[in-house]
């Protein structure tokens, strides 16, 4: 089922070419979307969507648990988001780490296999979707983003939303290294470092990525108000890490209440000249002590705000926890209606 386009997009053995000349030849996977559409639609929640479909994720491995028990359900969710209009789907690896699998009695080889499987499932779903000509109309071939959660997600104790884990930058680099090394060997189009709570972890990620000059990533921070990431630093300062990193091609906000997003986009724009990524949660609160969601989802949903957010500078827009394929379909509809292709009529259909 491998198509020619796929093979062309992931040529093995090319990394050294750019390094040898000192010029980075790695194409920016976001560029065709930004040129053609002006934005990228991301997917919505994976874990909470799996739960909505009956999966039991009460486990330290969270959605990664399904990699072992029911990979077919993960494929179904990926396909739902692609059908809903997502330009990017993210893998079930957010909470999956070699360290986490080891602590559950898996060997490091098995842990590595499960991490690779998370990308294979997304790539297969994307290729299956794209093989159907009807799905290609008015679309660019969707991307796969390998999801990488913060150190706190591996701890699975809610500390990902505070960043209070007292590790230094080198210690955080060391933590992130094994998973990155495995995922770097897969066919993922880019990396999504997400729900990052602190400046020190952002710096660690930028340092880690220096060892992967042919890879591209976005970094999204979890925020506690309209200006600050969960650990307390200004989002502008955190986002500015992207400007010093050729590997980081977008920076922004995820897993944060919709009410703070407009202010946070302005904050991110102050910090970086790179594209801004935004995928808030549904507005419900996570009570980590009780292990449950509280409050009601915001009545209007993210689609109602998407046009404003795009106008304010957000280029990659999607949903995080508790958002669904319906939210993503509404989001695509809203953005398409508000910003029809800017290309002159004679270019229509050229893609």
Which residue, chain included where needed, has tokens 């990659």?
A: 316
3-state SS assignment for residue 341: coil
Among 267, 339, 336, 324, residue whose Cα is nearest residue 83: 324
Written in H, E and C, the secondary structure of 131-148 is HCHHHHCCCCCCEEEEEE
* Residue-by-residue DSSP string for 37-71: TSSEEB---SHHHHHHTT----STTGGGHHHHH-H
Distance CA 81, CA 79 (A): 5
Provide the minimum distance between the beta carbon of 286 and Zn ion in the complex, in angstroms, as a whole number.
8
Provide the minimum distance between the beta carbon of 332 and Zn ion in the complex, in angstroms, as a whole number.
20
Stretch that binds Zn ion, among 83-91, 142-150, 165-173, 317-325 (CB under 5 A): 317-325
The interface mask with Zn ion, positions 280-309, x = CB under 5 A, is -x----------------------------
Provide the minimum distance between the beta carbon of 258 and Zn ion in the complex, in angstroms, as a whole number.
12
> With binding defined as CB under 5 A, does residue 255 bind Zn ion?
yes
Stretch that binds Zn ion, among 100-108, 229-237, 296-304, 319-327 (CB under 5 A): 319-327
Provide the minimum distance between the beta carbon of 192 and Zn ion in the complex, in angstroms, as a whole number.
12
- H or E element that contains 266: helix 261-271
> With binding defined as CB under 5 A, does residue 321 bind Zn ion?
yes
Number of residues that bind Zn ion (CB under 5 A): 4
Provide the minimum distance between the beta carbon of 321 and Zn ion in the complex, in angstroms, as a whole number.
3
Among 137, 142, 193, 187, residue whose Cα is nearest residue 32: 142
Closer CB to Zn ion, 80 or 281, in the complex:
281
Among 275, 231, 232, 234, residue whose Cα is nearest residue 252: 275
Candidate list 320, 329, 334, 335; residue touching Zn ion; CB under 5 A = 320
Closer CB to Zn ion, 89 or 255, in the complex:
255
User: What are the residues binding Zn ion (CB under 5 A)?
Assistant: 255, 281, 320-321
């Amino acid at each position: 089922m491998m198509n020619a386009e796929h093979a062309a997009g992931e040529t093995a053995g090319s990394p050294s070419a750019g390094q040898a000349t000192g010029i980075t030849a790695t194409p920016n996977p976001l560029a065709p979307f930004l040129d053609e559409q002006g934005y990228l639609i991301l997917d919505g929640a994976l874990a909470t969507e799996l739960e909505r479909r009956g999966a039991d994720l009460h486990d330290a491995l969270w959605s990664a648990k399904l990699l072992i028990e029911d990979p077919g359900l993960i494929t179904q969710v990926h396909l739902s988001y692609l059908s809903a209009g997502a330009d990017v789907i993210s893998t079930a690896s957010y909470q999956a780490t070699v360290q986490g699998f080891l602590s559950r009695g898996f060997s490091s080889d098995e842990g590595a296999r499960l991490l690779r499987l998370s990308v294979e499932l997304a790539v297969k779903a994307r290729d299956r979707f794209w093989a159907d000509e009807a799905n290609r109309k008015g679309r660019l071939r969707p991307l796969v983003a390998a999801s990488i959660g913060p150190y706190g997600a591996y701890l699975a104790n809610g500390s990902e939303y505070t960043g209070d884990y007292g590790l230094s930058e080198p210690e955080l680099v060391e933590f992130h290294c094994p998973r990155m090394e495995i995922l770097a060997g897969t066919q993922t189009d880019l990396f999504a470092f997400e729900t990052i709570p602190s400046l020190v972890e952002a710096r660690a990620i930028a340092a880690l990525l220096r060892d992967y000059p042919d890879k591209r990533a976005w970094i999204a921070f979890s925020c506690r108000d309209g200006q600050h990431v969960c650990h307390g630093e200004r989002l502008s300062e955190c986002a500015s890490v992207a400007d010093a990193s050729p590997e980081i091609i977008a920076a922004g906000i995820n897993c944060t209440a919709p009410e703070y997003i407009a202010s946070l986009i302005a904050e991110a724009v102050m910090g970086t000249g790179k594209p801004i990524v935004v995928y808030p949660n549904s507005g419900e609160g996570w009570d980590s002590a009780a292990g449950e969601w509280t409050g009601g989802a915001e009545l209007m949903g993210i689609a109602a705000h998407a046009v404003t957010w795009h106008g304010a500078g957000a280029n990659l827009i999607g949903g995080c926890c508790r958002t669904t394929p319906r939210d993503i379909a509404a989001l695509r509809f809203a953005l398409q209606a508000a910003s029809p292709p800017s290309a002159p009529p004679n270019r229509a259909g050229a893609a």
